[in-house]
Structure 1
Amino acid sequence: MNEVAVGIIANPASGRDIRRLVAHGTVFDNQEKVSIVRRILLACEAAGVARIVYMPDYYRIVEMAREGMRSDVAFGVRLEPVPQVLTGLPQDTETAARWMADKGLGCIVTLGGDGTNRLIAKVCGDTPILPVSTGTNNVFPEMVEGTIAGLAAGVVARGETLDDALYRSKCLTIVKNGRTVDQALVDAVVLDCHFIGAKALWETTGLRRVVVTRGEPHNIGFASIVGCLSPITPHEPRGAWIDLLPDGTNLCAPIAPGLVLPVGVSDVHSLALGEAVAIEAPPCIVALDGEREVEFARGDVGFIRLEASGPWVVDVRRALAGAVRRGFFCDPVRLRRLAAA
């Protein structure tokens, strides 16, 4: 059997954007990320992972997780940083994810919000990701305990689960003047403005159109606008779009932490896989998963297309249920090894 390897990308900047000032988002402390990663490391070892490759960062999240283990804990997993030059920019995340995918790791555990996972999804190819929520807009990643995340990543990397442990997520492709320029995992919002400014999006002023891959009433962010009218789950083979009306209000939705705002909306329009929605009347900005990203100048032509080509994602519950059916937790070799640790 090939060496079992798992990747960890913990974004030190997730959970720290301007929405802490303009909304009521909680600062997700990096020390808490250290604690989560420590539990992931220990659970990966228990699952039989031999090697963990991680994105280095200026806070040293993974290194501090290892250094903070109790002296009586015998930790036998080999830790390796991705050989990259840190810039402190979002490109660090993409560089690490691309390197991990190229090396054929069995699974990548991500700590961040929708924005972090959007960067990883663009370059991870067919390597499955297990998103752990530590950001602001957390529709794509779930709140999952680090121990459980580590076990699920381990059984997926080892192939000790069943096929339904992974699902292919949907995505929204942004096409500008005939060229694909970016993608979103959850929502793409067309804004009536001429320049990007602060990237984080938290208000409804100037919103023209919201296009989503999914949207449920328990979501936070602009996907919740669709979710509060006509919910769409991550597994349904469709998306939706809705126009924002400048006059009148007929809906309230949780747009950002602590901000349940009234909005005026049109009817929800279903969007089939492969179908596109036009980006009308530039100039405008398209925000992706809660952050302003793509500028359209006057004369530019573009559209937003729903595709089934997002990243492979680990369904934690199904992964562990599959491991149970395969007898993973009753394996005598694993039990002897854990008893001797």
Structure 2
Amino acid sequence: MSEAAGYVVGIVANPLAGKDVRRLTSGATPVSDAVKIGVIRRAVVGAFEGGAGQVMISGDRARLGERAVAGLDVAPGVQVFEPYGWHNGRDSQMAASEFRERGVGAVIALGGDGTQRDVAKGWRDVPLVPLAVGTNNVFPLQMEATVAGFAAGAVASNQLAAADVTSRSKIIDVAIEGTRHADVALVDVCLVRGAFVGARAVWDSASVSEIVAAVAEPQSVGLSAIAAAVAPVGRRDAGGVHVGLECASRDAQGIQRGRHIRAAVMPGSYSDLDIAHCEMLRFGQPVMLSGPGVLTLDGEREIVLGPRQRATVTVNPDGPQLIDVGAAVAMAQRRRYPFGPATAGR
């Protein structure tokens, strides 16, 4: 049995989350290191309160973990990893993989959709509390880190059966024709026009030609909001949606053809788009996306497709195990503080 079996909470903190180009080209405010340090600190306190015996934190050159636990009474029970040296999403992926190897019982990931995807790449079925600290926050949730940590601690310490307070999220598998390259996304995979990765974040929605989304909720901001405008798909709904876009076109009388929409593709910004087609997808139903173009995974340019090169994109039901924080906290508290008819009034 591994050294951490069942009693450790892992924390992945991405120092780059919430600082990409979309923050500069929209009305959103960058997420400072000070904010992330406070979130980590509160999550650590909550994890030990929830029952964790140890907390492991991913390392980074900003030393977020070390700064977060400085002065805490529980600091001796915290291990901060040395940075892996990539200074990008691969660090989060490698931390998640190491957590899995060490038998960590639950993981808290601080970041946006991209960070959560990196964690899933390192540990596909990770028992996860995804905290929203990024630019696009479709997959992660807005919640107080203190109770998020408590829930993770309760699950990691085996006070609760994970099956009682977790549910499997969806995941999108991507395979590139003619290569061994395989990748994943948690929210959406998009084909955008162009031939270069360049700035990884997509801020020009006019370049998007196709979207495959596992989560397309009307309250979300990002590329998945385009799909949500015509075919909403909830995070608990089976399957996904495939949407094709076209450049705005007009007939001989100057009347615009196709289904015109406006969607919030960035914080503080709406874009005009035209929908060419829309198809609901079953789990396991493949969609072929053909180059030339660039595939974006959860909002970030990742894979260049050459002319006539194709990618097979499939929405599947076997992604990370999401911890229901409210349910976990409630169940743990009921077990600690039973209060029923026999004790009422005493």
| TM-score, scaled to structure 1 | 0.90
Answer yes or no: is the 8 Å Cα contact 1:49–1:77 preserved in 2. Answer: no
Distance 1:66 1:167 in 2: 30
Q: Where does residue 244 of structure 2 map in the other structure? A: 243
Structure 1 equivalent of residue 48 of structure 2? 45
Q: Is 1:87 aligned to 2:86, yes or no?
A: yes
On the 8 A contact 1:166/1:312 being kept in 2, the answer is yes
Please say which of residues 202-211 and 104-113 is displaced more in the overlay: 202-211
Kept after mapping to 1: 8 A contact 2:53/2:157: no
In structure 2, distance between residues paired with 1:153 and 1:203: 37
Matches within 5 A, 1:162-241: 162=161, 163-177=163-177, 179-241=180-242
Moved more, 161-170 or 133-142: 161-170
Of the three residues 2, 5, 9, the one matched with 2:8 is 5
Q: Classify 1:318/1:268 alpha carbon distance in 2 versus 1 (closer, same or farther; 3 Å).
A: farther
Q: Which residue does the alignment assign to 1:110?
A: 109
Tell me if structure 2 keeps the 8 A contact 1:50–1:77.
no
Ranges in structure 2 where 5+ consecutive residues have no aligned partner: 249-255, 340-346
CA distance in 2, matches of 1:48, 1:301: 48
Over 3 Å counting, the alpha-carbon distance change for 1:192 and 1:85 in structure 2 is closer
Aligned-partner SS, 1:151: helix
Q: How does 1:115-194 map to 2 (within 5 A)?
A: 115-162=114-161, 163-177=163-177, 179-194=180-195
Number of aligned pairs?
Answer: 325
Q: Summarize deviations over 1:24-77 as a string: whole Å, max 9, x none.
A: 2210011011111111111112112111111111121121111154xxxx4366
**Is this contact kept in 1: 2:58–2:80, CA < 8 A?**
yes
- Is contact 2:6-2:156 (8 Å) kept? no
Per-residue CA shift, 1:50-105, capped at 9, x if unaligned? 11111111121121111154xxxx43661112355433232211111110111110
Rounded Cα–Cα distance in structure 1 between residues aligned with 2:187 and 2:62: 28
Contact 1:239 1:273 in 2 (8 A): yes
173-182 or 218-227: bigger deviation:
173-182
Question: Does the 8 A contact of 1:84 with 1:95 survive in 2?
Answer: no
How far, CA to CA, are the matches of 1:2 and 1:283 in structure 2? 46
Letter in 1 for 2:94: T
Match of 2:35 in 1: 32
Q: 1:219 is aligned with what amino acid? A: S
* Aligned equivalents of 2:264, 2:57: Cα separation in 1: 34
Picking from 262, 281, 292, the partner of 1:283 is: 292
After TM superposition, the score normalised by the length of structure 2 is 0.88
Distance between the aligned counterparts of 1:105 and 1:66, measured in 2?
19
Contact 2:245–2:277 (Cα < 8 Å) also in 1: no
SS at match of 1:205: helix
Instruction: Indicate which of 305, 310, 325 corresponds to 1:296.
Output: 305
Question: 1:185-214 CA deviation, whole Å, 9 max, x = no partner?
Answer: 000111121111111012221211111001
- Which runs of 5 or more residues in structure 1 are unaligned? 332-341
- The AA in structure 2 aligned to 1:168 is R
The worse-fitting range, judged by mean Cα deviation, of 214-223 and 313-322 is 313-322
Query: RMSD across aligned C-alpha pairs, in angstroms?
Result: 2.0
> How far apart, in 2, do the equivalents of 1:190 and 1:259 lie?
21
Once the two structures are superposed, residues 220-242 of structure 1 have per-residue CA deviations (whole angstroms, 9 ceiling, x without a partner) of 10111122222211111110011
Q: Distance in 1 between matches of 2:263 and 2:65?
A: 37
SS of equivalent to 1:250: strand
Match of 2:336 in 1: 328
Q: CA deviation at 1:321?
A: 2.9
**Contact 1:105-1:127 within 8 A present in 2 as well:** no
Runs of 4+ residues over 4 Å off in structure 1:
none
Kept in 1, the 8 Å contact 2:160–2:331? The answer is yes
C-alpha displacement at 1:135, in angstroms?
0.4
Cα deviations by residue, 1:128-150 (Å, 9 ceiling, x for unpaired): 11111100010010111011111
